[in-house]
Amino acid sequence: MKKIFYLIIGVMCLLPIKIFAVNITASSAILMDMDSNRILYSKDIHNIRSVASISKIMTAVIAIESGKLDEVVTIGDEIDKAYGSGIYIKKGEQLSLRDLVYGLMLRSGNDAAFAIAKYVGGSEFIEMMNNKATEIGMINTTFNNPCGLDEESGNYSTAYDMAILTSYAMKLDEYKKIIGTKTYKLKTNKNNYIWHNKHKLLGKYEYVTGGKTGYTKKALRTLVTTASKDNLNLVAVTLNDGNDFKDHISLFKYGFANYKKEDILTKGKINIYDDIYYGIYDLSIDKNISYPINNQDNVYLKYRLDQKPHEGSVGTVTLYVNEKEVLNENVDAKKIKRKESHNIIEWFGNLW
């Protein structure tokens, strides 16, 4: 059994207190840091509701991860099921899967959603959506179609789950590029298109990087927005919110005013105060330890290291915020190489 010892080191955040009231009219709302999944604001975040077209985020994720974005899709009878918002593609029209994802996300094309679903997964596409939801931790989500229409079974989720989905999606470079696009032009064998992004905050609020709108008579207005400032990457989700664009700006202003992404430890060599065991070893971590905190947080690091020094993995360093373990990294040790000393006779001999 390994013997370990513990060292606890406090961390101070110098972010000043800023009073910023948030009054959100949504039935459900969340503001989350996408890198750590820390929740900065919440209101009924696990309340299950119809989510309308923001469910297309999952359709886009499945399409992007299929590896088929550059393949040409020929549109068929699948678009007969589409109504409501669309990109108005026609049977026999040919365009790439990537083009369809642009139409899906910028114009909320239901016809694009059905075309994507048929090409990528056929009858198994909905199962692919639900399996992915389970895989990434969406605990209260059920997808029944690729677009969010309610007239059949509809898609049901929560503000929390949609924030988790968006945090995952934003780690995909292609997804980030698509949702951050304001205008997309396309020429096919049947038409020329100019698609403008429906998300009104893109270009209106300087820190917004993208998002997805949604509306049905059952779900009412749903909205997902992402924004970044000073290395703080946030997602806001509101369900049933008649003032959604205004509320998202309020949420982001609150988040950026009251939280700062602190670099607690940077990757590479680390020095541990009061360590009595590893004096002849270099200790290091492979990743930065960063977290969004404010000056009301109680923040500290706890090291768990093997009491008997050795090279390789020797323990972990864990970040605690308000007594809650939020992340940890492995600590590696490497013995310090010292220069070999020459004997005194050799030293004097070299002087002659």
**pLDDT: which is higher, 196 or 152:** 196
Of the listed ranges 34-38, 54-58, 62-66, 291-295, the least confidently predicted one is 291-295
* Residue range 4-14+262-335, CATH number: 2.60.410
Is 56 marked active-site? yes
Residue with tokens 């700062």: 260
Residue-wise pLDDT tens digits, 303-329: 998 988 889 999 999 999 999 999 999
User: Could you tell me the two tokens for 233?
Assistant: 């990457």
- On the question of a common fold for 4-14+262-335 and 28-242, the answer reads no
| Residue 339 confidence (pLDDT) above 90 | no
Give residue-wise pLDDT tens across range 119-140. 999 999 999 999 999 999 999 9
CA 96, 101, 107, 109 dihedral sign is positive
* pLDDT attached to residue 13: 54
What phi, psi does 129 have (nearest 5°)? -60, -45
- Cβ atoms of 191 and 208 closer than 8 Å: no
Q: Which of 55, 56, 167, 212 is catalytic?
A: 56
Going by C-alpha positions, the residue among 129, 73, 84 that lies closest to residue 107 is 84
Each domain of the chain, given as residue ranges in start order, spans: 4-14+262-335, 28-242
Q: What DSSP string runs through 253-290?
A: HHHHHH-EEEEEE-SEEE--TT--S-TTEEEEESS-EE
pLDDT at 278: 83
Catalytic residue among 53, 55, 250, 290: 53
Residue 223: partners with Cβ closer than 8 Å, 6 or more residues away: 54, 211, 212, 213, 214, 236, 237, 238, 241, 244, 245, 248
Q: What is the token pair recorded at 87?
A: 């990109």
Q: Give CA–CA dist 192/77, Å, rounded.
A: 21
pLDDT value at 21 more than 70: no
**Could you tell me the pLDDT band of residue 253, with boundaries at 50, 70 and 90?**
very high
- The pTM assigned to this predicted structure is 0.88
DSSP structural state of residue 341: P
In the residue annotation, 157 being an active-site residue is answered as no
In the beta sheet, which residues pair with residue 216?
220
Q: Which CATH number fits domain 28-242: 3.40.190.10, 3.40.710.10, 3.40.50.1370, 3.30.750.200?
A: 3.40.710.10
Q: What is the pLDDT of residue 351?
A: 44
Lowest-confidence segment of 65-69, 73-77, 184-188, 325-329 by average pLDDT = 325-329
Please indicate whether residue 53 is annotated as part of the active site. Answer: yes
Choice among 50, 85, 108, 157 that is catalytic: 108
Tell me 124's DSSP state: G
Rounded to whole angstroms, how far apart are CA atoms 116 and 87? 13
Which candidate, 264, 335, 333, 331, places its Cα nearest to that of 301?
A: 264
pLDDT at position 22, please? 84
pLDDT score of 347:
42
pLDDT at 132: 98
Residue 352: the pLDDT is 45
